[in-house]
């Protein structure tokens, strides 16, 4: 190895414990190693071509995705002299992986613009341009394995920082907080506008439920959950609807109950009781049953599976006092968020506290139906924007002030892939703890939506860096952010 002999740290890196992180075998590199090589573009980049002979220029390798779906998102490549295109990159050890892994049948792979493979064959069975990585490494694979073994813990090469990362890093912490909080204020307002518009059609109560269901769907199933919430008025109006009956109707209308098979039924009294009720209601509710393809299961953790979320929602619906309790907490002067959380918690569900899926094994330890992070997301994305909207519409300044105060003080929520990427691109990979409050995280989300989503991985035509520089200059002259153009 070049350079490494005398340096102590380099010797640590070459210790035997250091190497096996990427788990290559003697015949094939680990897929992880290929991803690291692509991420760092350890390639002879001027020579790249597809296996059918077209030249490939990688203008941006894309952002490494750890969430299922294609390995790299929003790459920018140019094939021959065609116009550069933006899309996803999928890496597979075998060319046949495209079919055997089912990528050809999964819509999350519809935007793949380049299939990167290792080794033979010389022809591709897909219509997607295919590049054989083996032909273009800038060093022998064994050397790359040694050099890149630790890159998984330091995965962001500097060249992937966004153009705004330098101006943002030159702002002090106070100025950065000011930018993020002002962006968060805009985000709160945008959400409130959506709630106001919907409430004019269906009233506040139904708007509240639609917001809650959407939040329970996370980003994968938000639309499906909201679509289901729109059919809540169709639920049976029996005066004493119990939780299992409500779960049967929600799961039935979701279309997810139809997925259960004879194996799931074996010794499963709970599933039988769902079907006992659903058979009776199915015809009446047939037109509201959602198609299965509306739901996404890839990358969804068992605890967040939509079936489990609907089981939780059934408890809220049957209790019928959730909205009233939330409203009285907001209208009070309590600062105890645990009091609010208590209204959303379900002490125990006889089935769902002990199972991830309808046909799954009983869990060793009972699991809560709602974790603290999801509760936090519900407060930030639904409860506070909705009450802020009501305060604005009702010109209730006191309520508006109270909601804003809670919003800006609420502690930071769980990290997620959008935040991680935004921290890397905009804030040069600063730790999650720098974003101390949910509002600061929301501000970062808003900047991504307003700027990153309208640009590309190369930050083409993005105005944000210039705006930050202008703000920085003005701030040195003590002009408040609101007055900066």
Distance in Å, CB of 415 to ligand SF4, minimum: 18
**Separation between Cα atoms, residue 390 and residue 326, nearest integer Å:** 14
Q: Which is nearer to ligand SF4, 62 or 465 (CB)?
A: 465
Nearest-Å Rg of the Cα atoms of the chain is 26
Q: Which is nearer to ligand SF4, 253 or 444 (CB)?
A: 444
Distance in Å, CB of 163 to ligand SF4, minimum: 4
Do residues 115 and 124 make contact, with C-beta atoms less than 8 angstroms apart? yes
Q: Which is nearer to ligand SF4, 148 or 164 (CB)?
A: 164
Q: Which is nearer to ligand SF4, 282 or 469 (CB)?
A: 469
Cβ–Cβ contacts within 10 Å for residue 115, how many? 24
Q: Which is nearer to ligand SF4, 163 or 438 (CB)?
A: 163
Cβ–Cβ contacts within 10 Å for residue 366, how many? 13
Distance in Å, CB of 385 to ligand SF4, minimum: 23
Distance in Å, CB of 184 to ligand SF4, minimum: 16
For 83-140, the DSSP string reads PPEEEEEEEESSTTHHHHTTGGG-GGGTTEEEEEE-S--SS-SSSS-EEEGGGGBSS-
Distance in Å, CB of 156 to ligand SF4, minimum: 13
Distance in Å, CB of 76 to ligand SF4, minimum: 12
**Pair of tokens at residue 67:** 């969430």
Please identify the residue of the shown chain whose CB is closest to the bound ligand SF4.
162
DSSP-derived letter for residue 381 is: I
**What b-and-e string marks burial along 311-330, b requiring 16 or more CB atoms within 10 Å of the CB?**
bbbbbbbeeeebbeebbebb
Distant-in-sequence, close-in-space partners of 129: CB < 8 Å, separation ≥ 6: 50, 52, 54, 56, 79, 113, 114, 115
Distance in Å, CB of 202 to ligand SF4, minimum: 36
Residues that bind ligand SF4 in the complex, under the rule CB under 6 A? 162-164, 425-426, 447, 451-452, 455, 459, 462, 464-465
Q: Which is nearer to ligand SF4, 155 or 368 (CB)?
A: 155
Q: Which is nearer to ligand SF4, 179 or 248 (CB)?
A: 179
Give Cα separations from 62 to 273, 384, 458 (angstroms): 48, 35, 10
């Amino acid at each position: 190895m070049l350079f490494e002999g005398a340096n102590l740290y380099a010797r640590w890196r070459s210790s035997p414990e250091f190497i096996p992180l990427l788990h290559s075998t003697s015949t094939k590199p680990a897929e992880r190693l290929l991803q690291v090589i692509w991420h760092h573009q350890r390639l002879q980049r001027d020579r790249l071509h597809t296996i059918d002979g077209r030249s490939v220029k990688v203008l941006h390798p894309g952002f490494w995705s750890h969430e299922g779906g294609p390995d790299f998102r929003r790459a920018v490549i140019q094939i021959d002299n065609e116009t550069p295109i933006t899309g996803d990159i999928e890496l597979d050890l075998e060319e046949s992986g495209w079919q055997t892994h089912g990528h050809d049948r999964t819509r999350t792979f519809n935007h793949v613009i380049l299939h990167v493979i290792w080794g033979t064959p010389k022809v591709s069975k897909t219509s997607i341009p295919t590049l054989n990585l083996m032909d273009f490494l800038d060093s022998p694979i064994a050397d790359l394995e040694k050099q890149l073994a630790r890159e998984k813990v330091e995965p962001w090469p500097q060249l992937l920082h966004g153009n705004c990362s330098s101006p943002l890093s030159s702002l002090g912490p106070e100025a950065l907080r000011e930018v993020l909080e002002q962006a968060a204020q805009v985000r709160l307002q945008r959400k409130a506008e959506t709630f106001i518009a919907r409430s004019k059609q269906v009233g506040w109560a139904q708007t509240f439920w639609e917001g809650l269901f959407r939040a329970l769907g996370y980003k994968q199933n938000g639309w499906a959950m909201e679509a289901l919430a729109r059919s809540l008025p169709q639920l049976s109006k029996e005066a004493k609807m119990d939780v299992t009956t409500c779960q049967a109707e929600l799961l039935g209308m979701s279309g997810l109950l139809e997925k259960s098979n004879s194996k799931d039924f074996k010794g499963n009294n709970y599933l039988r009781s769902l079907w006992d009720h659903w058979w009776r209601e199915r015809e009446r509710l047939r037109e509201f049953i959602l198609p299965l393809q509306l739901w996404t299961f890839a990358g969804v953790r068992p605890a967040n599976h939509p079936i489990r979320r609907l089981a939780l929602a059934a408890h809220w619906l049957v209790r019928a006092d959730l909205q009233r309790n939330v409203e009285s907490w907001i209208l009070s002067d309590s600062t105890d968020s645990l009091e609010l959380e208590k209204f959303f918690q379900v002490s125990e569900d006889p089935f769902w506290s002990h199972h991830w899926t309808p046909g799954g094994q009983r869990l060793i330890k009972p699991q809560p139906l709602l974790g603290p992070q999801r509760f936090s997301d519900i407060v930030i994305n639904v409860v506070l924007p909705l009450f802020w909207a009501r305060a604005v519409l009702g010109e209730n300044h006191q309520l508006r002030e109270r909601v804003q105060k809670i919003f800006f003080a609420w502690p930071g929520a769980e990290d997620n892939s959008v935040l991680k990427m935004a921290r890397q691109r905009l804030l040069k990979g600063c730790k999650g703890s720098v974003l101390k409050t949910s509002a600061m995280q929301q501000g970062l989300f808003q900047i991504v939506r307003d700027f990153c989503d309208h640009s590309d991985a190369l930050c083409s035509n993005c105005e944000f860096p210039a705006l930050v520089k202008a703000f920085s200059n003005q701030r040195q002259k003590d002009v408040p952010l609101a007055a900066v153009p």
